A and B are shown apart, each in its own frame.
Chain A
Amino acid sequence: MFDQQTIEMLLVGVWDTLYMTVAATFFSYVFGMVMGVTLVVCRKDGIRPNAFVYSVLDVVVNLTRSFPFLILMIAVIPFTRFLVGTTIGNNATVVPLVLAAAPFVARLVESSLLEVDNGVVEAAQSMGGSIWQIIVKVLLPEARPSLINGSAVSAITILGYSAMSGAVGGGGLGKLAIMYGYNRYQTDIMIITVVLLIIIVQAFQSFGNWATRRSDKRGS
């Protein structure tokens, strides 16, 4: 159906998409996790309330989240160039992806941690647990299933952003879809890239569901 070259191009597209998604998800979690934990710890009824830190972080997260991704991507071009030396290609795309996704991840982590029963946190405090111990030994492990589920949601969202980035210099399946489907009217290639995206999304979601279920010890 397709020649060797097209197939190769599609495979490279899949690889680029996976690369950007996985790398951006990883780095989004590095920053998003810290922000999410900080939000939970510093909120009014948190374990170390701090109205100043909370509201600053809250505003930053909301601001970043209300930027449309494409605009953000273009707006941070100088920053991207400073960081990776170029503004096209996979690594360059990871930068705006992380900037856009980290606040999203922060909110997901925040809501996962808020699901942890406050009584369990109090029990740990009554045993003389420090803030750090409570974060590492209570909040994160107790929220583990929900965090895993959230990471699948994040990866899928980031995948969507990465496809969008194809419009302004990003690579991967998004670029192929736009280049062939939109610019050259090669509907067959566009359809196949969309199908590939759907398959990847499905795979992430199924894996996420499976891992969530497996890690949850709360029964049924």
Chain B
Amino acid sequence: MADGPIISIEGLEKRFSGKNSEVFALRGIDLAIGRGDIFGIIGKSGAGKSTLVRCINMLERPTGGSVFFEGRNLCRLPEAALREARRSMGMIFQQFNLLMQRTALQNVCFPLELTGAPKEESRKRAEELLEMVGLANRMDAYPSQLSGGQKQRVAIARALATRPRVLLCDEATSALDPATTDSILALIKDINAQLGITAVVITHEMSVIEKICSHVAIISKGVIVEQGLVEDVFFHPQTEAARRLVLPDALRKLPQAHLYRLIFNGRSSFEPVIANMVLECGCPVNIMYADTRDINGVAFGQMVLQLPEREESRARIMAYAKAHSIMLEEMKHV
């Protein structure tokens, strides 16, 4: 059990039945989330991300398939055992969901109160956790007196109170500004590294995945269309949905012919590569788009080039790239 995935999802299905309509929010989901991973799940609005993460702790009851947590099928657990299992999975939300009539400290004590832990002990643990998330001086503040980032820190401390082994994050940074987002992501990464807590990160932003995730699954219309290591999906997106996430929307308006994607790792830089290629091949290229991304702490650059009309020139450039192990691939349909 120790080596197997901490969470594994098999053939998961969630159907919402209305009076005269049925929505398949999730269909045939298979996922294995390894212990200690930061597992990202990304998709557009309405793709089924929230439903999926809520099925992991049974806030939403799946209509088919199974969810195993540490080898136990949560779908089959009786209510009391399920509540027990939920204590091993902390959850944080886009809207923080703090108790508004309790102070930060009382909020963090709350899950411990639910387990019936002794008051004094809970209080000590809550204080430690608030210190850890950097709120030692705001313990007696009410949520209404805290900023969004501070509220999410309280929520994280609260989610960790019962010493869970998994942290489920549903769009935890979507209500925050970029700088605060980065600090919350860094905190989640820290918690993962220091406490060894597996994190499941739901988001609609590729940048969140790039910054902290080791693995990613792409969900589209209730189906997982692609999953794997973040680098693999980034370098070799296999599906339309993946390509769309890796490349910006603006590219979709460009002329579609002869577009190629060029990827560097952080050790090289753009200019000499392009310049040398152009000089050596004797034909110009058009730079349509370029950016750098930080994937798991390593800077990667990507560039979209439009290569010449002439078949022969393109072949020469491809040969050059191959010879110099430059990752250059044609983009079929962006």
Contacts and interface: CB of A to CB of B under 8 A. Distances in A.
B144 A129 contact: no
Interface stretch (B8-16, B83-91, B126-134, B266-274): B83-91
Nearest to B115: A128
B86 to A, nearest CB: 4
Contacts of B93: 119, 122-123
Contacts of B83: 128-130
* B-side interface size class: 20 to 34
Interface string B181-199: 0000000000000000000
**Chain A CB within 10 Å, residue with most, of B59, B83, B86, B114:** B114
Contacts of B85: 128
B113 A137 contact: yes
B99 interface: yes
B67 to A, nearest CB: 14
Given A127-B111, A217-B142, A138 B99 contact: yes
A116 B95 CA distance: 14
Given A117-B97, A119-B93, A217-B142, A127 B59 contact: no
Contacts of A215: 101
Nearest to B161: A127
A141 B110 CA distance: 12
A217 B101 contact: yes
Contact of A123 (B82, B87, B97): B97
Contacts of B97: 117, 119-120, 122-123
A115 to B, nearest CB: 11
A124 interface: yes
Contact of A137 (B91, B114, B168): B114
Given A119-B93, A219-B144, A128 B84 contact: yes
Contacts of B101: 141-142, 144-145, 215-218
Nearest to B113: A137
A133 interface: yes
B334 to A, nearest CB: 37
A127 B100 contact: no
Interface in A92-129: 117, 119-120, 122-129
A158 to B, nearest CB: 27
Contacts of A142: 99-101
A26 to B, nearest CB: 23
Interface in A163-220: 215-220
B173 interface: no
Nearest to B79: A130
Nearest to B93: A119
B331 to A, nearest CB: 40
A120 B59 contact: no
Contact of A122 (B59, B84, B102, B103): B59
B91 A128 contact: no
A127 B110 contact: yes
B145 interface: yes
Given A128-B162, A219-B145, 6 more contacts: A123-B93, A127-B87, A127-B114, A137-B114, A141-B99, A216-B101
